[in-house]
């Protein structure tokens, strides 16, 4: 018999056949270890069709070849070196056509290849082979070799092997998925354990399930003692800001700070974020104690230096205009005094900006909020900047729609300071001799959005994440800008955020930038 037998002609299975298939199903479901499962499939294939031996060839997804992943006995190691090309041999034919095949005299079948027998010293006389399919995808071919107790394989054997192969395909796919998940879990575990930052997993109720070595060290606990304990207990030596209960009840990603004042001060900062589908929480955190200490030193330094500079500047900016009133000054003297006056005023502005920034950085800024209209404050701000704007060849256009905006809740002086910084930046970072700066606004989601648009050089995309850092400026070679110390945007962002708003930027190189601030409305 050398032709494939269609499934619909399969003979009836006996009670003994079903019992064998049931036992095979139990055996297949008993392991998820892939190599052990493949060995079991080979052994069970022979039992299901009552054959001398069984074989399992898997498909190589890259080449399409069939190969023996596992083989039994000493000859099996030799067989594992055999790879059948697509369509080669009886197994290759079954794989290519994805239909079962019974051949009860392999020597007379032109599709037969003796390569496997030559390697194993096994004599194959008869074969029943079926494709190993999972959701229409070929995984390989399973065979029963040499029928025992009967002259040859029948449609009953073929049908039994088909049922078994369907079970085996599911088991193999599950074992592969399990092996892949195990590998990913081990890789993830190594990454988490090697992290220098702390990582902690907790269940939905806030009980710790896992903490990595770095996290355990920062929290002062043993990694194996943390699981099962509430977050509040694991971090009991720290004061959480906000509290754990409040953070867990939010069901949103929360920025947290843990502060330990006992003994050596330790400040941990991180994010607590919910996992998908209520799977629990992930807390990633790091030690920011030194960074906070350095930040305080910087703030103190800025404040002290600014105050120290302010005293001599008062004399310079105060007396230079008085000296200029002297009618007996020579042109050179007048030119020198004018330079002292102008540069002194510029330095005074920088010092004032340093003082303001140090105050806002220290989070001690006091906002005098009130209900205010945007347009009058903008008019006043632009008017105060007129001399500097004229010197730079800049013209500011206030959009008519600004007057129609609802009143906002803000500190007028701080609001004006933000607008001044944004307009000043727009003028400074545009190297054209004549420049137009447009200020416009709109209402969105109950907030007033005030935008400052320029037609300058624009900001490269890689620079945008850094422009709000203090003392940071885009490269002079790109913008042609040399004035300032890089505090305007950092200060403006902090002032806007102190009001509960945001400062965002949209920029295209060569076309300009738009800085947009958001403010809570009162109307």
Could you identify the residue written with the tokens 């001398």?
Answer: 52
Angle at 478 between CA 476 and CA 484, to 5 degrees: 30
Task: Report pLDDT digits (tens) over 133-170.
Answer: 998 899 999 988 999 989 999 999 999 888 888 888 88
Nearby residues of 152 by Cβ (< 8 Å), 6 or more positions away: 1, 102, 104, 126
The closest of 286, 294, 273, 129 to 201, measured between CA atoms, is 273
Task: Report pLDDT digits (tens) over 94-133.
Answer: 999 999 999 999 999 999 999 888 888 788 999 999 999 9
Contact 381, 388 (CB under 8 A): no
Task: Over range 204-210, report the average pLDDT.
Answer: 89
Q: Take residue 448 and report the two structure tokens written for it.
A: 């007033």
Q: What is the pLDDT of residue 100?
A: 94
Mean pLDDT over each residue of the chain, to the nearest integer: 84
How large is the greatest C-alpha to C-alpha distance in the chain, in angstroms? 132
Task: Report pLDDT digits (tens) over 405-427.
Answer: 999 999 999 999 999 999 998 99
481 — pLDDT class (breaks 50, 70, 90): very low
CA separation, residue 122 to residues 48, 59, 125 (Å): 20, 23, 10
Task: Report pLDDT digits (tens) over 282-333.
Answer: 999 999 988 888 777 766 776 666 667 777 877 888 888 888 888 888 999 9
Of 444 and 3, more confident: 444
241 Rama class: left (phi>0) / alpha (psi -120 to 50) / beta: beta
> Which residues are 201's β-sheet partners?
210, 282
Q: Where are the alpha helices (DSSP H) in 362-487?
A: 374-384, 386-392, 412-428, 476-479
Task: Report pLDDT digits (tens) over 353-411.
Answer: 666 666 656 555 568 899 999 999 999 999 999 988 998 999 999 998 999 999 999 99
Laid out side by side, the sheet with 198-202 consists of 208-211, 198-202, 281-287, 266-274, 254-260, 239-241
Task: Indicate whether this model's pTM tops 0.75.
Answer: no
Q: What is the pLDDT of residue 364?
A: 54
């Amino acid at each position: 018999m050398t032709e494939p037998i269609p499934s619909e002609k399969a003979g009836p299975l006996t009670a003994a056949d079903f019992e064998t298939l049931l036992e095979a199903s139990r055996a297949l479901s008993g392991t998820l270890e892939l190599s052990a499962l493949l060995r079991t499939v080979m052994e069970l294939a022979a039992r299901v069709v009552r054959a001398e031996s069984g074989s399992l060839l898997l498909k190589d997804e890259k080449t399409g070849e069939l190969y023996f992943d596992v083989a039994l006995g000493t000859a099996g190691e030799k067989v594992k070196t055999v790879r059948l090309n697509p369509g080669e041999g009886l197994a290759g034919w079954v794989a290519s056509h994805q239909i079962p095949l019974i051949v009860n005299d392999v020597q007379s079948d032109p599709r037969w290849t003796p390569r496997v027998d030559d390697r194993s010293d096994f004599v194959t006389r008869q074969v029943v082979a079926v494709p190993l399919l999972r959701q229409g995808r070929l995984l390989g071919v399973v065979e029963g070799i040499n029928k025992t107790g009967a002259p040859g394989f029948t449609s009953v054997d073929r049908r039994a092997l088909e049922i078994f192969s369907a079970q085996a395909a599911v088991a193999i796919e599950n074992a592969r998925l399990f092996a892949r998940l195990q590998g990913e879990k081990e890789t993830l575990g190594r990454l988490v354990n090697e992290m220098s930052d702390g990582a902690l997993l907790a269940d939905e109720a806030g009980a710790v399930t896992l903490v990595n070595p770095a996290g355990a060290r920062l929290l002062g606990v043993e990694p194996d003692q943390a699981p099962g304990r509430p977050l509040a207990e694991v971090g009991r030596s720290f004061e959480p800001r906000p509290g754990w209960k409040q953070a867990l009840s939010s069901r949103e990603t929360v920025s947290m700070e843990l502060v330990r004042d006992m003994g050596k001060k330790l400040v941990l900062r991180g994010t607590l974020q919910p996992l998908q589908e209520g799977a629990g929480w992930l807390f990633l955190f790091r030690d920011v104690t030194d960074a906070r200490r350095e930040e305080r030193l910087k703030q103190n330094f800025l404040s002290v230096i600014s105050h120290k500079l302010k005293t001599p500047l008062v004399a310079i900016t105060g007396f230079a205009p008085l000296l200029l009133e002297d009618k007996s000054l020579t042109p050179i003297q007048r030119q020198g005094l004018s330079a002292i006056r102008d540069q002194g005023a510029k330095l005074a502005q920088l010092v004032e900006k340093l003082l303001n920034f140090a105050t806002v950085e220290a989070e001690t800024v006091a906002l005098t909020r009130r209900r205010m209209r945007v347009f009058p404050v903008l008019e006043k701000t632009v008017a105060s900047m007129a001399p500097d704007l004229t010197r730079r060849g800049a013209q500011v256009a206030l959009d008519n729609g600004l007057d129609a905006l609802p009143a906002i809740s803000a500190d007028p002086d701080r609001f004006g300071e933000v607008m001044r910084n944004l307009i000043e930046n727009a003028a400074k970072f545009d190297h054209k001799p004549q420049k137009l700066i447009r200020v416009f606004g709109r209402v969105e989601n109950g907030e007033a959005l005030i935008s400052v648009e320029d037609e300058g050089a624009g900001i490269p995309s890689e620079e945008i994440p850094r422009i709000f850092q203090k003392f940071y400026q885009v490269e002079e070679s790109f913008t042609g800008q040399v004035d300032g110390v890089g505090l305007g945007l950092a200060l403006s962002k902090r002032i806007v955020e102190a009001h509960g708003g945001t400062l965002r930027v949209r920029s295209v190189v060569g076309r300009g930038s738009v800085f947009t601030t958001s403010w809570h409305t009162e109307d």
